[in-house]
Structure 1
């Protein structure tokens, strides 16, 4: 007999439903029920096999025919579990409903049940489902790969932790390689932060140019040494990219950030006696 509990028992909506992505029926049948390959309940297995026999109206007239049908059903379930294990029981039932309703034009409907028929029906259903859910799957993947928005409290917590790292680096080494993070408000507009403007005001442009030239040479020496020792493609790309930028009189981002860290470290070393004051120098809102 068919296991009615399987049809009526719905799981909790997925997170996609909760965030507003409307799910088609075919998606619900696939996402809200266990995959056949994971089912261990004999009741559910027998319910599925009995459903296939019933919907195709398979009859047996002797004990021998019943024995042959039982053997065939063992093979059919093994086929389903090993080759179509990613389907769910409701999906398989829906596939055979579509089959008897002649919704797979390429398949002729016969009142018989064997592995070949089952494979043809389930392959036709998978193809139909794939075509039907293409738009839904694309939206689903976009939602799953989009980063979740960060709350203001989380941003402030992250920023506070980062400032603590800079504070400890300066106390220990007199230099922090993370200061550049606080140099621009927006990477698109390139607008400088109040902290960057304060630091820039303490260093003449002529000194900045000299510092950049020195750091550029040091950076070139470093990446060329890495290319010799590692021979990695990334090291080769770094050398080629830096060389091309220099030829075009373009600033190298890594070198710019090094200079920012140097002058920022020099500025912040004057505030290492009081963390609260140190923090305010970088970001008043943290």
Structure 2
């Protein structure tokens, strides 16, 4: 059941990516990893607890102190799993990075670790995340709500709006980031034909560009999370996992290159797509 929930969540995030909704770094940390309440791997649990001890530089000088710390960590993980189970491991790590960096003005930084400190830090992080992602969450909610079936007239109206948007983008810059929405239609009608080798080559090039852009964006906006996000992108590229936004960029390039020769008149532009 837990795996099914995570897979469903991943499908929803893929759907969001395909709609073009850009996900902030904090959203990626929350959406792309399993919730703590679902984690059963002792290695991952121990890794998280050891991270908390290390980042706060908690040291013990005797077996008795070590025993007390071990007992405390059992209580801390129980607190995290039962009261903060909707967080992910990367989010908890990010929260404590922000804590030691003094990014929660309302919290004083002490080199100690107990349930009260953990609760204060994670609540502060949840409030910060909620404020930071308010706009994104509203857009996400709208996109995930089940839409009512559109009438034929509405479909045609939406198509007309899309065509005008792409037409104007191409006239202005020679490229439209929304052009990928026309790719399947043009390919089905035999108007564009890209070989598998050409697709692989284009995707590889755009994936590297995406990686560079991700490095720049994350290091500028969320320095403490940069490594996690960048490594995740690198792993997806190395393992050959398709990144939706990269695939859509490739499709937009192909469609833009095809359509940019038909920009003299909008009606003629439409005929090239609808023939």
Q: Point out which structure has higher relative CO (alpha carbons under 8 A, 6+ apart).
A: 2
